[in-house]
């Protein structure tokens, strides 16, 4: 855990720093946001702890503009509720009163380090994957983790890192599908001041930030071919070139990559380099879809029901057997991520002392059992509805319906559809130009409630 503390607060943050170090954190302390930005650009961080008297909103806007995604915790002397509320509204995840309570600081560090990173499993279908992960974790081999969107590929990558000899060093993740092509090279390899418009200072990339630890290249299949060549060289030579730099920089990292697409097929169609696939796929961990792991569905449902009851300060209510049976009939195209969203909603909607069938709803307000028909009369009716329609019309409806299902999230929709984010964006631009209504992020969720 790399903790960056920003502010002074009469030495109280110094005490918080000491407590964090005692709990295993690597701590850097700066007095103002400008200095903190320099640290982020050169070293990175996993958590920010910020003086509530500083311009938290402006600081968080600035780091987001530079594509840092780091949780922030606000700190202040005393328990001024207005300051706490303003800090949360500004984007802080928590408010911690000072002088610091050792147990509270330890709990915050633990919550951040474990948030959504616990790989929960019970089903025999995934045991062989866990066994292989345990076997290769201590090695230096590159690992390719494959599976459908939402199966837990990043969580598995963190599991491997925690089992490795690099666990005390940084785990750094970058989503290759979420960052525009013209920025991804800089995000990976860093840049020098003035290398391009907006490069206001030297900044290290994810390779340097992960030095000594593990670098996760999430959704590697979305990387441009030109950049794939540079990535291959970086992996082979164990050195990178910053954008605008004059000399190479040595790095010592382990690479883990993920993909929800078949990279062998991507090699055949020319969108992925075969030599890069060989470098990445020394060991393959293929995570089964949630519908292939019925025991995992049960334990994950219970886990999420407890998690979101606690998060929303609601008494825990178990999921009824009838509701569980209904959940087991759904195909879960979004896998664990979709299940988590559904159970979070159910925790809020449930009445009585159990989470029952009526509380289990998908984003469009339908029940999971209504969303999938396996055949028979209903399947025949669905097939009849397609007769007489063009492939283009069916494709448009499928893409837009999937986007609604994903609450307008382009990346998740592209993953479920099995197409690249670029292809999805091009299709949506075409549909909009033709006058079709395209969901925006969060639109379906607002409609459902």
Beta partners for residue 200, in sequence order: none
Q: Among 118-132, 192-206, 230-244, 246-260, which is the least confidently predicted range?
A: 192-206
What confidence category does residue 422 fall into, taking pLDDT thresholds of 50, 70 and 90?
confident
Q: What is the mean pLDDT of residues 58-72?
A: 86
pLDDT at 113: 62
pLDDT at 36: 93
pLDDT at 350: 93
Q: What is the mean pLDDT of residues 245-261?
A: 94
Between the two ends of the chain, the Cα-to-Cα distance in Å is 38
pLDDT digits (tens, 9 = 90+) for 74-111: 888 765 677 788 888 888 888 888 887 888 887 777 77
Q: What is the mean pLDDT of residues 115-136?
A: 88
Alpha carbons 15 and 12: distance in angstroms, whole number: 5
Alpha carbons 116 and 48: distance in angstroms, whole number: 18
- By residue count, the chain amounts to 449
Alpha carbons 67 and 414: distance in angstroms, whole number: 22
3-class SS at 93? Answer: coil
Instruction: Give the global pTM.
Output: 0.72
Q: Which domains does the chain have, with CATH numbers?
A: 2-114 (3.40.50.2300), 124-286 (3.40.50.300), 290-370 (1.10.8.60), 376-448 (1.10.10.60)
Q: How many CB atoms lie within 10 A of CB 110?
A: 13
Average pLDDT, the chain: 86
* Segment of 1-5, 100-104, 137-141, 182-186 carrying the highest mean pLDDT: 137-141
pLDDT above 90: residue 389: no
Alpha carbons 324 and 298: distance in angstroms, whole number: 7
Q: How far is CA 21 from CA 27, 35, 105, 172, in A?
A: 7, 21, 10, 20
pLDDT digits (tens, 9 = 90+) for 6-16: 988 667 777 78
What confidence category does residue 445 fall into, taking pLDDT thresholds of 50, 70 and 90?
very low
pLDDT at 102: 82
């Amino acid at each position: 855990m790399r903790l960056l503390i920003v502010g002074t607060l009469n030495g109280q943050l110094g005490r918080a720093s000491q407590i964090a170090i005692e709990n295993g954190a690597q701590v850097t302390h700066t007095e103002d946001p400008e200095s903190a930005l320099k640290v982020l650009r050169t070293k990175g961080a996993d958590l920010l702890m910020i003086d509530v008297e500083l311009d938290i909103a402006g600081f968080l806007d600035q780091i987001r503009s530079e594509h840092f995604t780091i949780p922030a915790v606000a700190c202040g002397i005393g328990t001024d509720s207005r300051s706490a509320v303003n800090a949360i509204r500004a984007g802080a995840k928590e408010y911690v009163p000072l002088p610091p309570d050792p147990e509270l600081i330890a709990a915050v560090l633990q919550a951040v380090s474990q948030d959504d990173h616990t790989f929960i499993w019970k089903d025999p279908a995934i045991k062989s994957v866990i066994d292989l992960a345990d076997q290769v974790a201590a090695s230096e081999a590159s690992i390719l983790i494959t599976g459908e969107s939402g199966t837990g590929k990043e969580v598995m990558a963190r599991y491997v890192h925690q089992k490795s000899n690099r666990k005390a060093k940084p785990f750094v993740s970058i989503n290759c599908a979420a960052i525009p092509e013209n920025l991804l090279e800089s995000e990976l390899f860093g840049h020098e001041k003035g290398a391009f418009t907006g490069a206001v200072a030297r900044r290290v990339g994810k390779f340097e930030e992960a030095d000594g630890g593990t670098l996760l290249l999430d959704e590697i299949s979305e990387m441009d071919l030109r950049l794939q060549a540079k990535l291959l060289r970086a992996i082979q030579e164990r050195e990178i070139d910053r954008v605008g730099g004059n000399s190479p920089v040595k790095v010592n990292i382990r690479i883990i990559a993920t993909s929800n697409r078949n990279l062998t097929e991507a090699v055949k169609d020319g969108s992925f380099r075969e030599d890069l696939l060989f470098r990445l796929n020394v060991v393959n961990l293929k995570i089964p879809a949630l519908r292939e792991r019925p025991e995992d569905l049960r334990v994950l449902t219970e886990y999420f029901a407890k998690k979101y009851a606690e998060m929303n300060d609601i008494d825990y209510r178990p999921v009824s057997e009838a509701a569980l049976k209904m959940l087991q009939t759904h195909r879960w195209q979004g896998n664990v991520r979709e299940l988590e969203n559904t159970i979070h909603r159910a925790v809020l909607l449930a009445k009585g002392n159990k989470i029952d069938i009526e509380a289990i709803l998908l984003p469009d307000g339908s029940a999971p059992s209504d969303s999938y028909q396996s055949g028979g009369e209903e399947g025949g009716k669905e097939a009849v509805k397609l007769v007489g329609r063009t492939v283009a019309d069916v494709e448009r409806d499928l893409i837009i319906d999937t986007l609604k299902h994903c609450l307008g999230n382009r990346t998740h929709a592209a993953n479920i559809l099995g197409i690249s984010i670029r292809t999805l964006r091009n299709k949506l631009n075409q549909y909009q130009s033709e006058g079709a209504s395209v969901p925006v992020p969060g639109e379906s969720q607002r409609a459902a409630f």
